[in-house]
């Protein structure tokens, strides 16, 4: 029985893969009309600097997720909108960087914009940051909708990566217009094969993701 338990444990343990960059597709090459603002490649994020592993502002995904995202973009365009990508594949080393940052000290210039009601040291305990992320499986995206006529993102009630219950998709703390925009994004993404995450209006994972047990650690570069 002990041997069986050990085998099961090893089978269920996530795999950290440093492997083949060709498994990751540049979604913007497949769907050129996609808009991108890969925040972790710059300083406009909760850490306030480029995150380890983001050496280029690219939206990389599995082949299957890239195809599904193209379908979502077509649906968005039918509403006069476009998808704007904030994050796609995320290397495991970037997740490790988040965890290390939580335990750090010093000034917190990003606190008012990203976690105004929380202490940095509580972000893991409260579930906002974890030691692994679905993004590292290369089939999860963070995104919003942009009005194609004006180039302006739709009002979603909170910024992306805002660590607060207001970011829950169905939060009644945001106005009706913002909730309707969240629901439209959810409708577009679920119709294209993604499932939402209730606590983050911007976060979606491909239902039939091809690497459900693999957490890649391939650096994002040119």
pLDDT tens digits, residue range 82-139? 999 999 999 999 999 999 999 999 899 999 999 999 999 999 999 999 999 999 999 9
Q: Which of 26-30, 103-107, 137-141, 146-150 has the lowest mean pLDDT?
A: 103-107
Q: Are 96 and 103 in contact (CB under 8 A)?
A: no
What pLDDT shows up at residue 181?
99
What pLDDT shows up at residue 222?
78
% residues pLDDT > 70 (the chain): 91
The CATH number corresponding to 2-216 among 1.25.10.10, 3.30.70.100, 3.30.1380.10, 3.40.47.10 equals 3.30.1380.10
**R_g (Cα) of the chain, nearest Å:** 18
For residue 1, name the pLDDT band (cuts at 50, 70, 90).
very low
Catalytic residue among 63, 173, 200, 209: 200
pTM over 0.75: yes
What pLDDT shows up at residue 99?
97
pLDDT tens digits for range 6-21 = 333 333 445 666 667 8
Write out the H or E segment, with its range, that includes residue 35: strand 35-36
Q: Which of 139-143, 161-165, 187-191, 218-222 has the lowest mean pLDDT?
A: 218-222
Residue 201: closest CA among 215, 187, 212, 213: 187
Give the integer Cα–Cα distance in Å for 35 and 209.
22
Residue 72 is encoded by which pair of tokens? 């979502």
Give the integer Cα–Cα distance in Å for 125 and 143.
25
What pLDDT shows up at residue 7?
36
Can 200 be counted among the known catalytic residues? yes
Pairing type for strands 200-206 and 140-147 reads: antiparallel
Q: Look at residue 9 and give its three-state secondary structure.
A: helix
Kindly compute the dihedral angle of the four CA atoms of residues 148, 191, 130, 174, in this order, to the nearest 10 degrees.
60
Residue 46 is encoded by which pair of tokens? 């909760």
Mean pLDDT confidence for 180-205: 99
Give the integer Cα–Cα distance in Å for 88 and 68.
13
Mean pLDDT confidence for 136-145: 99
Better-scored residue on pLDDT, 15 or 66: 66
């Amino acid at each position: 029985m002990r041997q069986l338990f050990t085998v099961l444990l090893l089978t269920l343990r996530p795999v950290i893969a440093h492997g083949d960059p060709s498994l990751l597709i540049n979604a913007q090459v497949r769907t050129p009309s996609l808009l991108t603002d890969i925040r972790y490649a710059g300083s406009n994020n909760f850490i306030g600097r480029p995150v380890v592993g983001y050496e280029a502002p690219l939206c990389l995904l599995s082949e299957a997720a890239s195809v599904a995202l193209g379908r979502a973009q077509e649906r968005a365009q039918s509403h006069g909108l476009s998808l704007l990508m904030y994050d796609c594949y995320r290397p495991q080393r970037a997740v490790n960087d988040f965890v290390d940052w939580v335990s750090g000290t010093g000034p917190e210039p990003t606190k008012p914009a990203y976690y105004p009601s929380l202490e940095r040291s509580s972000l893991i305990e409260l579930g906002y940051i974890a030691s692994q992320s679905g993004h590292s499986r290369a089939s999860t995206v963070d995104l919003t909708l942009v009005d194609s006529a004006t180039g302006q993102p739709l009002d979603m009630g909170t910024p992306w990566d805002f660590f607060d219950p207001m970011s829950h998709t169905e939060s009644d703390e945001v106005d009706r217009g913002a909730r309707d925009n969240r629901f439209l994004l959810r409708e577009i993404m679920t119709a294209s094969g993604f499932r939402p995450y209730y606590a983050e209006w911007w976060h979606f994972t491909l239902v039939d993701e091809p690497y459900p047990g693999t957490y890649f650690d391939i650096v994002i570069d040119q």
